[in-house]
Structure 1
């Protein structure tokens, strides 16, 4: 069937469904004041999904496919998401939607990891061989503050001020982590340049600090501190970077869409990564404030918890949600 015949046959159904979507978005799904207007919503939604599948299979014009895809997305939002409670939606997101989204956008995630980890590993090696290199990247005042945070004689490690409570530090870590994630994501709007900068910068900062801590002999204090929360924090940062790269790439290579529409589409696709980054960074802040800074827990225990965290992240993003992905 030619595209013209296809459109002529199903155009009236699409328009009828679109009218129902507009009504449902305006007044709420299945609102009692207009029950008759939303009859056959499910049937039309299924037919629309069928039409979209046919259009893709027969390789009809990208414009037609994008129009049907956008309408299916709006219908899906109304038909499924608005009929479940908030806790059910959170559960579904964590258990299914987030890992599926990461696997679907694996290319951007791997690029973000490369931009973050590779520069860090390079400067890590340089700083180990040339300890004075740390002062080429970080000012002496900040270096002294970091040294004080991981001094083995401290009662609570990882803090600039011993008087801070766990709850105060929890808020501080959340603010700091979310700030980094927001910069990494929003920077993508500048054709990925901002995201690349923040990923590389933070990777270099962490790599230099790691090596400097080893050079001054504080490695046991430092690594026992970061072990518990590093998997969640670093993965959260790279997820936000992957989302930012996707935004920027939509501007560089919009494909058959206008740059505005491509950016809108990329924003929708990247939001699960952003929500996932916030979720992981929240966990990291909690662990960092209430577990990592405690000196009464043996280092070996903290290392085991850290290894378990990385294994969990790997298995979670590899296997979770497979039944729906």
Structure 2
């Protein structure tokens, strides 16, 4: 059968499947019947239309259905662990393009900050403010470039820093309702700030001292903000590009799934706050190998969860689907 004829024959059925999958009160028996239909259609498409986008569409639809069936059969298993171990990673895999877009936007804005600070001396003061720049210059003269992180108590710093990071991340996400424009602005703003901030320390000849102090907590803090930016882009795309769904349903789905991704960043945001409140203040006196170990360790941990682990979970699910065909 030609691909176009296969699509025409089954299109209405697949759209009906999408609507049923999106319902919160779907019948488990009904879902199982749909699943059997879908894996047969997927197997046929993989056999005769290997390079078609139809295979990708049916594969995504099958994974969503498998995930929903899997959740209904897990009443005796801890939902908390399922959320972080399976549900969120599958969403991260599904929306991996938006994570890439968020990293690109942030990286470009960081480069803009570096180049702008390099060619315009007043740019750093414009972005960071005179008070912060003057205070940091004074700290550099006293031999402690990151002394600003020593201000306040450990507990007070942790609380204040964590709430600020949550505010920034949630704002970056929430402004996705503007079609993603607000999210792009927040990513641009924070990227330019970070780029000019780091170049400022390079100008003063204390770049590596600043890296040791800032990135102990910054690896997870910045990474989490970029992921929250990706969630904002997902929310914006659900409004602008509803695909086969009506716009309201698409928005509800996008909101629900992007919120889950934001929730997954929160443990890392809290961990970054703990590091900034309790560890960063001692970075100046810390052995370089210990600082590098913490930076690479935290970066590896969050990178694995948001970038690598989703592929592992998706591969496992596909393997289970394949074994049931």
Please give the TM-score of this superposition, normalised by the length of structure 1.
0.73
Q: 2:127 aligns with which of 137, 141, 144?
A: 137
In structure 1, stretches of 5+ residues that fail to align are: 23-40, 60-64
- Size of the aligned set, in residue pairs, is 286
1:91 aligns with 2:84: no
1:204 aligns with 2:177: no
In structure 2, stretches of 5+ residues that fail to align are: 1-5, 46-57, 319-325
Aligned partners of 2:85 and 2:67: how far apart in 1?
23
Partner of 2:291: 302
CA contact (8 A) 1:185 1:240 kept: yes
1:292 aligns with 2:280: yes
Name the structure where helix makes up a greater proportion of residues: 2
Radius of gyration: which is bigger? 1
Deviation of the 1:57 alpha carbon: 8.0
Q: How has the CA–CA distance of structure 1 residues 43 and 97 changed in structure 2, closer, same or farther, with 3 Å as cutoff?
A: closer
Alignment of 1:1-325 (within 5 A): 21=25, 42-51=28-37, 53=39, 76=69, 79-80=72-73, 82-85=75-78, 89-147=79-137, 153=143, 157-159=147-149, 162=151, 164-294=152-282, 295-316=284-305, 317-319=307-309, 320-321=312-313, 322-324=315-317
**Mean alpha-carbon deviation: is it higher for 109-118 or for 196-205?**
109-118
CA contact (8 A) 2:166 2:269 kept: yes
CA contact (8 A) 1:184 1:241 kept: yes
Q: How has the CA–CA distance of structure 1 residues 238 and 55 changed in structure 2, closer, same or farther, with 3 Å as cutoff?
A: same
Partner of 1:32: none
Deviation of the 1:226 alpha carbon: 1.8
Q: How has the CA–CA distance of structure 1 residues 4 and 186 changed in structure 2, closer, same or farther, with 3 Å as cutoff?
A: closer
CA contact (8 A) 1:185 1:241 kept: yes
CA contact (8 A) 1:239 1:276 kept: no
CA contact (8 A) 2:32 2:69 kept: no
Aligned partners of 1:147 and 1:166: how far apart in 2?
24
Deviation of the 1:292 alpha carbon: 1.7
Aligned partners of 1:4 and 1:276: how far apart in 2?
35
CA contact (8 A) 2:139 2:147 kept: yes
Aligned partners of 2:232 and 2:12: how far apart in 1?
41
**What secondary structure is seen at the aligned counterpart in 2 of 1:288?**
helix
Deviation of the 1:276 alpha carbon: 2.1
Deviation of the 1:176 alpha carbon: 1.0
